[in-house]
Amino acid sequence: MSVFTYRDGVMHVEGVAIPAMATQVGTPFYCYSAAALRAAWREFADATAGMNARVCYAMKANSSLAVVRLLGGMGAGADIVSEGEMRVALAAGIPAGRIVYSGVGKKPSELAAALQAGVGQFNVESAAELETLNAVAGQLGLKAEIAIRVNPDVDAGTHAKITTGRKGDKFGIDIDLAREAFALAGRLPHLKVAGVAMHIGSQLTSLDPYRGSIARVRELIGALREDGHRIERFDIGGGLGIVYRDETPPSVADFMATVRRETDGLDCELTFEPGRRVVGEAGILVGEVILVKPGAAKTFVIVDAAMNDLIRPTLYEAWHEIQPVREARPEAAKIRCDIVGPVCESGDFLAQDRDLSPLSAGDLIVVRSAGAYGAVMASTYNTRPLVPEVMVDGTRFAVTRPRPSIEAMLAAEWLPPWMEPLKGS
């Protein structure tokens, strides 16, 4: 059952009415359901029961401290791509040994911070990174445990901007060059080769790309073992899709069953790094209608949530379901409209050419499936404060990241010393 439901004509998140939150928090704001997060995590916990496996939440999808703390408390590790994400994971109580550090461009200072923190695994993506990590670990008198991320050259069949496993993508080492990279890693004294990693993309709705990729990496693991490497781990990454519109993504149970079959007898600990699948459908963006602007070509519903708050529609041509907080009457006529924000860009839209029940100034709307790649990609374009984040758990809710004031934004900037301060400042 969805945690986002109408009760007496008003949309609720679990047991909390959205208008009650909007009155206290102001709009726009993001809202996450603790019940939905727990349910999504349990799917992975249940499906990996009895497997030699660990699940590390991919924090790039949503790095809210409250979200990470909730998942970490249920046993999640963390897949990070920056020092900042590492510090959030540690602050949320995730042990450093359960953290996997991924990413194509890690600076020496970031590697040093992760080594000193005791991060459990580095997913290395180039020969140059192998050399750098070895040098940094040597300077610190430490040894880094690594997996080398390979690019299996498999098209995930998803949006071009979130496909990561093709030969032309920037991620990983070409699988045909992987044995050379592992040979180099084996010669470097401050690295310990532990496994092979892959991640072929995001929002996958078919298991076929996983089958093809696992088969290619399985063959590589056999060759690496013949070369004398002890390959103990296989990091399969994440990427399972969610429902935005009418997608039918595989169940977590079916995904894991496929992985079991494809890795049977491989004798590796498996690592999974779900992000969107855990948080995507657990979050919404709430906005308020500013005005409705009829035009000769189309009608614009202008709301206070904009592309700087949720960039996915304009960046990825992403489709998000939009619903009124006050339930529309079944007999209400529909209007064709664009839902747009106040940002000074023609690309500032949340939806285009939608048939919706008529909306008026002051009405609240909900943008569904906004828990992943929403707040984390937000900006202050047009000097708009970052959107606050709220978590609901049953009948209670709390602001987990407040909206900064304009005064706080100004206070974060300094004039250069040669500029005279304005009078009164």
pLDDT, tens digit, for every residue of 372-386? 999 999 999 999 999
In a domain, 424, yes or no: no
User: Which domain covers residue 373, as residue numbers?
Assistant: 4-31+280-411
Candidate list 31, 56, 268, 344, residue with the active-site label: 344
**In a shared domain, residues 270 and 204:** yes
User: How many beta carbons lie within 10 A of that of residue 120, not counting itself?
Assistant: 19
In a domain, 372, yes or no: yes
Domain total of the chain: 2
**In a shared domain, residues 48 and 23:** no
**In a shared domain, residues 15 and 142:** no
Quote the DSSP letter at residue 418: T
The span from the CA of 172 to the CA of 157, in Å, is 18
Q: Among 257, 277, 297, where does a domain finish?
A: 277
Tokens of 2: 């969805």
Q: What is the phi-psi region of residue 123: left when phi exceeds 0, alpha when psi lies from -120 to 50, beta otherwise?
A: beta
344 is catalytic: yes
**In a shared domain, residues 308 and 260:** no
In a domain, 406, yes or no: yes
**In a shared domain, residues 316 and 254:** no
In a domain, 288, yes or no: yes
Q: What is the pLDDT of residues 170-216, one digit of tens each?
A: 778 999 999 999 999 999 999 999 999 999 888 999 999 999 999 99
Q: Please give the pLDDT value at position 423.
A: 74
**In a shared domain, residues 135 and 104:** yes
Burial 364-374 (b: 16+ CB within 10 A, else e): bbbbbbbbbbb
The span from the CA of 378 to the CA of 373, in Å, is 9
Calculated CA dihedral for residues 93, 99, 105, 107, nearest 10 degrees: 60
Q: Among 259, 277, 295, where does a domain finish?
A: 277
**In a shared domain, residues 340 and 262:** no
Residue 159 banded pLDDT, cuts 50, 70, 90:
very low
In a domain, 417, yes or no: no
Q: Please give the pLDDT value at position 155.
A: 60
Q: What is the pLDDT of residues 280-309, one digit of tens each?
A: 999 999 999 999 999 888 899 999 999 999
**In a shared domain, residues 268 and 179:** yes
Q: Which of 213, 279, 264, 312 is CA-nearest to residue 37?
A: 279
Query: Rounded mean pLDDT of the chain?
Result: 94
Helix (H), strand (E) at residue 47: helix 34-47
**In a shared domain, residues 27 and 42:** no
Q: Among 220, 255, 277, where does a domain finish?
A: 277
**In a shared domain, residues 110 and 203:** yes
Express as a percent the part of the chain with pLDDT over 90: 88
List the Cα angle 33/35/40 in 5-degree steps: 100
**In a shared domain, residues 183 and 82:** yes
**In a shared domain, residues 329 and 392:** yes
Q: Which of 169, 139, 157 is CA-nearest to residue 149?
A: 169
CATH of the domain at 293: 2.40.37.10
Determine phi and psi for 349, rounding to 5 degrees. Answer: -145, 150
The span from the CA of 273 to the CA of 56, in Å, is 5
